[in-house]
Structure 1
Amino acid sequence: MPRSPRMRRTPIAIAAAIALATALLPAAPALGAPTTCVDPGFGKPMQVTADCIDPSYANPVIDAETDETSPVPHHRVSGHFEGTNIQFTIYLHAAADKSKWEGRFFQYTYPTVFTPGGDLSKATDRAIGFALASGGYAVQAGNTSLSLGYRHAAAAAKFAKTVAARYYGSDRKIYGYLYGPSGGSFQTAGAAENTDGVWQGFVPMVQAVPTPNSYNFNGRAAAELILADKADAIHDALMPGGSGDPYSVLDEAERAVFSEVSRLGIPDKAWENPDYLLGYDQQFYGTAGLSSDSPLAYDPTYVDDFWNAPGYLGTESTPLGARVRTELADMGDTVGHRWNIAKRFAYRYQLPAAGTGWIALDQFRNSDGTPMYPQRAVGEPGFSGFVSGFAAFDGSINGKVIAVSNLYDTDALPIHTDWYRKQIEASLGPAASDNYRVYFTDHADHQDAVPTGERATHLVDWYGMVEQALRDVAAWVEEGVQPPASTQYTIEDSQIVISDKAQKREGLQPSVDITSGGGQVIKAKVGQAVPIVATARTPQGGGQVIKAEWDFESDGAYVAGGAVAPKKNVTVSTKHVFTEPGTYFVSVKVTAERNGDVDAEYALLQNIDRVRVVVTQ
Structure 2
Amino acid sequence: MQETNNENAQARCNGLHDAQFQQPYVDVDEWRNEPERHRYIHGGFEGNDTKFSFYFPSKEGYEGRFFQPVYPVQGSENAAQSQTEGVDNKIGFAISNGAYLVETNMGGMSPDATLVYRASAAVAQYSRVKAAELYGPHRPYGYIYGGSGGGYKTISFMENTTGVWDGAVPFVIGTPMAIPNVFTARVHAMRILKDKFPAIIDALEPGGSGDMYAGLNEEERNALEEVTRLGFPPKAWFAYKEIGDGALTVLAPAVMQMDTTFFEDFWKLPGYLGTDPESSAARARLRFKSVITEVIRPQKQGAAHDKSVNMGVDEAWKMLTETEGNVPSFRLDSVPTGEVYVDGAFIHVMSGEAAGEKIPLGQLNGDIVTIGSAFGFFPSAQSLGKIKPGDEILLDNSDYLAIQTYHRHQVPTRDYQVWDQFRDDNGEPLYPQRAFLVGPIIANGGAGSIQSGRYEGKMIVVQTLMDESAFPWQADWYRTKVKEALGDALDDQFRLWFVDHALHVDNSSNNSLDGLHIVSYIPALHQALRDLSAWVERGITPPASTSYEVVDGQVVVPSSAAERKGIQPIISLKVGGSERAEISIGQAVSFKAEVEAPPSTGKIVAAHWDFEGEATFPVEAVISYVNEEGSEAIIEATYVFTKPGTYFPVLRAASNREGNSDNLYTQVLNIGRVRVVVK
TM-score range, shorter-chain basis?
A: 0.7 to 0.9
1:468-509 CA-to-partner distances (Å, cap 9, x unmatched) read 111111111111111111011111101111122111100000
1:57 aligns with one of 21, 25, 28 = 21
Structure 1 counterpart of 2:643: 580
Question: Is it true that 1:467 corresponds to 2:526 in the alignment?
Answer: yes
User: Which stretch shifts more, 151-160 or 139-148?
Assistant: 139-148
2:188 aligns with one of 194, 208, 222 = 222
Structure 2 counterpart of 1:442: 500
User: Which stretch shifts more, 479-488 or 338-347?
Assistant: 338-347
1:82-126 CA-to-partner distances (Å, cap 9, x unmatched) read 2222221211122xxx23322111111114379xx9944858431
Residue identity matched to 1:207: I
In 1, Cα distance between the equivalents of 2:643 and 2:198?
22
Instruction: Note the C-alpha offset of 1:436.
Output: 0.6
Residue identity matched to 1:313: L
SS in 2 for 1:575: strand
Structure 2 counterpart of 1:558: 617
Question: Is it true that 1:323 corresponds to 2:291 in the alignment?
Answer: no
Instruction: Note the C-alpha offset of 1:345.
Output: 0.9
Structure 2 counterpart of 1:270: 236
User: Which stretch shifts more, 75-84 or 469-478?
Assistant: 75-84
In 2, Cα distance between the equivalents of 1:328 and 1:42?
39
SS in 1 for 2:138: coil
Residue identity matched to 2:139: K
In 2, Cα distance between the equivalents of 1:302 and 1:401?
39
Structure 2 counterpart of 1:423: 481
1:462-541 maps to which residues of 2 (within 5 A)?
A: 462-541=521-600
8 Å CA contact 1:550, 1:587 repeated in 2 = yes
Structure 1 counterpart of 2:121: 154
2:60 aligns with one of 99, 103, 111 = 99
Q: 1:422 to 1:331 in 2, by over 3 A?
A: same
User: Which stretch shifts more, 538-547 or 527-536?
Assistant: 527-536
Instruction: Note the C-alpha offset of 1:393.
Output: 0.9
In 2, Cα distance between the equivalents of 1:144 and 1:176?
19
In 2, Cα distance between the equivalents of 1:293 and 1:578?
51
In 2, Cα distance between the equivalents of 1:513 and 1:598?
21
Q: 1:143 to 1:394 in 2, by over 3 A?
A: closer
Instruction: Note the C-alpha offset of 1:200.
Output: 0.5
In 2, Cα distance between the equivalents of 1:165 and 1:366?
61
Structure 2 counterpart of 1:590: 653
Structure 2 counterpart of 1:136: 99
In 1, Cα distance between the equivalents of 2:559 and 2:507?
25
Instruction: Note the C-alpha offset of 1:212.
Output: 6.7
8 Å CA contact 1:543, 1:595 repeated in 2 = yes
1:310 aligns with one of 255, 260, 270 = 270
Question: Is it true that 1:345 corresponds to 2:405 in the alignment?
Answer: yes
1:178 aligns with one of 134, 144, 160 = 144
Question: Is it true that 1:359 corresponds to 2:417 in the alignment?
Answer: yes
Q: 1:124 to 1:302 in 2, by over 3 A?
A: closer
User: Which stretch shifts more, 44-53 or 547-556?
Assistant: 44-53
1:171-214 CA-to-partner distances (Å, cap 9, x unmatched) read 33321100011111111001110111111000001112321752
Structure 1 counterpart of 2:222: 256
1:561-612 CA-to-partner distances (Å, cap 9, x unmatched) read 2454771011112233323211111111100000111211222110011011
Question: Is it true that 1:240 corresponds to 2:206 in the alignment?
Answer: yes
In 1, Cα distance between the equivalents of 2:229 and 2:485?
27
SS in 1 for 2:126: helix
8 Å CA contact 1:119, 1:144 repeated in 2 = no
Structure 2 counterpart of 1:9: none
Instruction: Note the C-alpha offset of 1:249.
Output: 2.1
Count of matched residue positions in the alignment of Structure 1 and Structure 2? 560
User: Which stretch shifts more, 530-539 or 42-51?
Assistant: 42-51
SS in 2 for 1:522: strand
Instruction: Note the C-alpha offset of 1:455.
Output: 2.3
8 Å CA contact 1:48, 1:54 repeated in 2 = no
Residue identity matched to 1:78: H
In 1, Cα distance between the equivalents of 2:168 and 2:138?
21
| % same residue | 36
User: Which stretch shifts more, 176-185 or 567-576?
Assistant: 567-576
SS in 1 for 2:421: helix
Question: Is it true that 1:193 corresponds to 2:153 in the alignment?
Answer: no
In 1, Cα distance between the equivalents of 2:14 and 2:264?
53
Structure 2 counterpart of 1:26: none
8 Å CA contact 2:410, 2:437 repeated in 1 = no
In 1, Cα distance between the equivalents of 2:253 and 2:56?
50
Residue identity matched to 1:571: I
Q: 1:397 to 1:143 in 2, by over 3 A?
A: closer
SS in 1 for 2:665: coil
TM-score, length-scaled by structure 2: 0.77
Q: 1:340 to 1:141 in 2, by over 3 A?
A: closer
Residue identity matched to 2:677: V
Structure 1 counterpart of 2:349: none
In 2, Cα distance between the equivalents of 1:560 and 1:399?
44
Instruction: Note the C-alpha offset of 1:140.
Output: 1.1
In 2, Cα distance between the equivalents of 1:45 and 1:120?
30
SS in 2 for 1:191: helix
Q: 1:563 to 1:165 in 2, by over 3 A?
A: farther
In 1, Cα distance between the equivalents of 2:102 and 2:252?
39
In 1, Cα distance between the equivalents of 2:444 and 2:94?
29
In 2, Cα distance between the equivalents of 1:118 and 1:529?
55
In 1, Cα distance between the equivalents of 2:261 and 2:33?
60
Structure 2 counterpart of 1:74: 38
Structure 2 residue runs of 5 or longer lacking an equivalent are: 287-338, 343-393
Structure 1 counterpart of 2:50: 86
